[in-house]
Structure 1
Amino acid sequence: MTHPVIDIAQLSEMLANSTKIAIVDCRFDPMAPDAGRQAHLAGHIPGAHYAHLELDLSAADKSAGGRHPIPTEGEFTALLQRFGVDADTLLVTYDAGDLAAASRLWWMARYFGHDKVAVLDGGIAAWVAADQQVEPGAVAAGNGTFAANIDPALCVDFQAVCYGEYRPVLIDSRDPPRYSGEVEPIDLHAGHIPGAINMPWRESLGETGLLRDAEAQLARWQPLFADKPAPILYCGSGVTACVNLLALELAGLSGARLYPGSWSDWCQRGGVVATGNA
Structure 2
Amino acid sequence: MKKSAYLVDVHWLFEHLEDPNCVIIDTRFSLSQPQQGYEQYQTGHIPGAYYLDLNQDLSSSVEAHGGRHPLPNWNAFVDKLNQLGIHSKNPPGPTQIVIYDDSRFAFSARLWWMLRYLGHEQVAILDGGIQAWKSAGFALSKDIPKPKTGPEKGNFVARPQPDWVVDIETVRQQKDRPDAVVIDSRSPERWRGEIEPIDPIAGSIPGSVNSFWQDISTEEGRLKSADKLATHWSRFDLQPETIVYCGSGVTACVNLFSLAAAGHQMYKLYPGGWSDWCSYLTENAPETN
* TM-score class normalised by the smaller sequence: over 0.9
Task: Show the counterpart of 2:29.
Answer: 28
Q: Distance in 2 between matches of 1:60 and 1:4?
A: 30
In structure 2, the partner of 1:157 is 167
Q: Does 1:231 align with 2:237?
A: no
CA contact (8 A) 1:76 1:148 kept: no
CA contact (8 A) 2:186 2:246 kept: yes
**1:274 is the counterpart of 2:288:** yes
Cα deviation, residue 61, structure 1: 5.7
Match of 1:54 in 2: 55
Work out whether 1:193 is the aligned partner of 2:195: no
What value does the CA root-mean-square deviation take over the aligned residues?
1.8
2:113 to 100, 107, 111: 107
- Structure 2 residue aligned with 1:74: 75
Distance 1:82 1:62 in 2: 27
**Alignment: residue pair count:** 272
Larger deviation, residues 157-166 vs 121-130: 157-166
Moved more, 130-139 or 103-112: 130-139
- How far apart are the structure 2 equivalents of 1:19 and 1:252? 30
SS in 2 for 1:202: helix
1:180 maps onto 2:180 in alignment: no
Report the residue type matching 1:82 in the other structure: Q
Say if 2:274 is the partner of 1:263.
Answer: yes
Whether the 8 Å CA contact 1:173–1:198 is kept in 2: the answer is yes
Determine if contact 2:182/2:242 at 8 Å carries over to the other structure: yes
Give percent identity, aligned residues only: 41
- Quick one: distance in 1 between partners of 2:55 and 2:63? 10
Mark the runs of 5 or more structure 2 residues left unpaired by the alignment. Answer: 89-93
* Length-normalised TM-score, structure 2: 0.89
**Residue 227 of structure 2 aligns with which residue?**
215
Q: Give the alignment of 1:84-103 within 5 angstroms.
A: 84-87=85-88, 88-103=94-109
User: Could you tell me which amino acid in structure 2 is paired with residue 72 of structure 1?
Assistant: N
Cα deviations by residue, 1:89-125 (Å, 9 ceiling, x for unpaired): 0111111142111000000011122111111111111
Contact kept, 8 Å, 1:225 with 1:231, in 2: the verdict is no
Q: Which amino acid aligns with 1:67?
A: R
Q: What TM-score, normalized by structure 1, do the two folds share?
A: 0.92
CA distance in 2, matches of 1:169, 1:210: 27
For 1:216 and 1:232, how far apart are their aligned partners in 2?
22
Amino acid paired to 2:170 = A
Residues 122-137 of structure 1: matches in 2 within 5 Å?
122-137=128-143
Structure 2 counterpart of 1:40, which letter? Y
* Corresponding residue number in structure 2 for 1:116: 122
* Unpaired segments ≥5 residues, structure 1: none
* Partner of residue 91, structure 2: none
Distance in 2, matches of 1:63 and 1:81, equals 31
Letter in 2 for 1:200: F
CA contact (8 A) 2:87 2:95 kept: yes
